[in-house]
Structures are given as structure tokens and as C-alpha cells.
């Protein structure tokens, strides 16, 4: 049981480049979310999904795009990377039963 | 919208001491879940303890326990007999039962256990 798998673990981008952070879970969880973690600010919600085909914006969605074509996968796309998007990104998934979310191991992204 | 506040950016205690981390939250919901997550230097987010708002009894997991005060909207974490491996960032989080059930985090408390 792999849980939540995020790739890559580290990435360096140049300003203006685009990329996709991959997230996959094998627990048949309907709820999935993307967070970014910055010092002193905790984890802030970027986008979330309550099931395949359903996504919505979180607290800090600008510059990011998501889709959820299957229950398992929830990729996060950076459209045109900016230095302000330098952060650690976490993908998480959960059932709807009130249990905590299970997190991936995170991606450290640096935009230069 | 729900908000979660952790007022202690950093704390430091000696090994074997007891430490309490504070968390307050704001919500108009009556039923919800509260969590404490631990993030060691490995960066992995680890669920420490979970509390259901409709249960008055405080949750306990081995050396970890909570003091849940629903009326005061307070949810503190007590770590007893602290160990060096408890050194980590600790995040308080709120999840409503209704709707999209988004998890909302506090800013975190950096806890250092000194030998």
C-alpha cells in the first residue's frame, strides 16, 4: 500500500517555465488537496477536489491549475513559474469519514 | 470561513518534561474534527491525534493528549515525558463535517526537545 505518492521530490525551475507536480493515491479516497508550505504561514490550500471531475479553488489558487480525471490522480500545474512560487508543496487525500488527511512526502520547488 | 491560530511560534523544553502547545480556532460549525500533525525534519506530515467535536472526552494517544474546550474554541496538545524524537513542527488543523471538508491549518509551533 503506497499511500500518497508525489513526484518529483525536488525541482528547480526558471522563471516563466511550466511544470506539473504529480500526485497519486491508491486508497480510493474521494477527497484530495494541494497545499503549499511557507515559513511562518503553515500549510495553505491551493486547490482541492471532492471526487473525480470535481475541483475547486482554495486559499491561494493564482498561478496554479488542477484536474481530476480519475479518483487516483490529482496533478498540479504551474502555468508560468514565478519566484513567489518557491515553496514546499504537499498533496493529501482522505475519505469523507472525518479521519485526517494522508500526506505525500512533499516537493521542494525553487524558482530562479 | 474557519481560521486556526497557534500563538507560540517556537517552544523548547528539556527531555522528560511535559509541554503544552496551544491552538485556538474560529468556526460557526457545530460538528467538526480537530487534529494535531507532527512534521519532523524529514518533512513528512504525521497525524498525532484526532478529536471529534461532538465527543466531550479528550483524546489520548500514548504520551499525547489534548485539552479540548469547545465553548472556548481551544484545542491544546500535551506531550508527557518528552523525548528527543518529539522535536518537530506541530500543526493544529480543523476539518468540518459538512461540505468540502477542507483541512485548515494553523501557522505551526516549532518544538525543540533538549537533552
B47, B102, B105: residue with CB nearest A42: B105
Q: What is the pLDDT of residues A30-50, one digit of tens each?
A: 999 999 999 888 899 999 999
Backbone angles phi, psi at B84, to 5 degrees: -60, -35
Q: What is the Cα gyration radius of chain B? A: 14
3-class SS letters over A1-41: CCCEEEECCEEEECCCCCEEEEEEECCCCCEEEEEEECCCC
Cβ atoms of B66 and B55 closer than 8 Å: no
Separation of alpha carbons B82 and B14, rounded Å: 8
A9 CB neighbours in chain B (<8 A) are none
Residue A43 touches partner B, C-beta closer than 8 Å? yes
Beta strands B46-52 and B32-39 are: antiparallel
- State the smallest CA–CA distance between residue B106 and chain A in angstroms: 6
CA pseudo-torsion sign B75, B81, B86, B87:
positive
Contact between A94 and B107 using a beta-carbon 8 Å cutoff: no
Strand partners, A93: A32, A102
pLDDT per residue rounded down to tens, chain B (115 residues):
789 999 999 999 999 999 999 999 999 988 999 999 999 999 999 999 999 999 889 999 999 999 999 999 999 999 999 999 999 999 999 999 887 788 999 999 999 999 9
Amino acid at each position: 500500500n503506497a499511500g500518497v505518492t508525489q513526484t518529483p521530490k525536488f525541482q528547480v525551475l526558471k522563471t516563466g517555465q511550466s511544470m506539473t507536480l504529480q500526485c497519486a493515491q491508491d486508497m480510493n479516497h474521494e477527497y484530495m488537496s494541494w497545499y503549499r508550505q511557507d515559513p511562518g504561514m503553515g500549510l495553505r490550500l491551493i486547490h482541492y477536489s471532492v471526487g473525480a471531475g470535481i475541483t475547486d479553488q482554495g486559499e491561494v489558487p493564482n498561478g496554479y491549475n488542477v484536474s481530476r480525471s480519475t479518483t487516483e490522480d490529482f496533478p498540479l500545474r504551474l502555468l508560468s513559474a514565478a519566484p513567489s512560487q518557491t515553496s514546499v508543496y504537499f498533496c493529501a487525500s482522505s475519505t469523507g469519514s472525518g479521519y485526517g488527511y494522508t500526506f505525500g512526502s512533499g516537493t521542494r520547488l525553487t524558482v530562479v | 470561513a474557519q481560521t486556526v491560530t497557534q500563538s507560540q511560534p517556537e517552544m523548547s523544553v528539556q527531555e522528560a518534561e511535559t509541554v503544552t502547545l496551544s491552538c485556538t480556532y474560529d468556526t460557526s460549525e457545530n460538528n467538526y474534527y480537530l487534529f494535531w500533525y507532527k512534521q519532523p525534519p524529514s518533512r513528512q506530515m504525521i497525524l498525532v491525534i484526532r478529536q471529534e467535536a461532538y465527543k466531550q472526552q479528550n483524546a489520548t494517544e500514548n504520551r499525547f493528549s489534548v485539552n479540548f474546550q469547545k465553548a472556548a474554541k481551544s484545542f491544546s496538545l500535551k506531550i508527557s515525558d518528552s523525548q528527543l524524537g518529539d522535536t518537530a513542527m506541530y500543526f493544529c488543523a480543523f476539518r468540518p463535517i459538512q461540505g468540502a471538508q477542507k483541512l485548515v491549518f494553523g501557522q505551526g509551533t516549532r518544538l525543540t526537545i533538549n537533552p
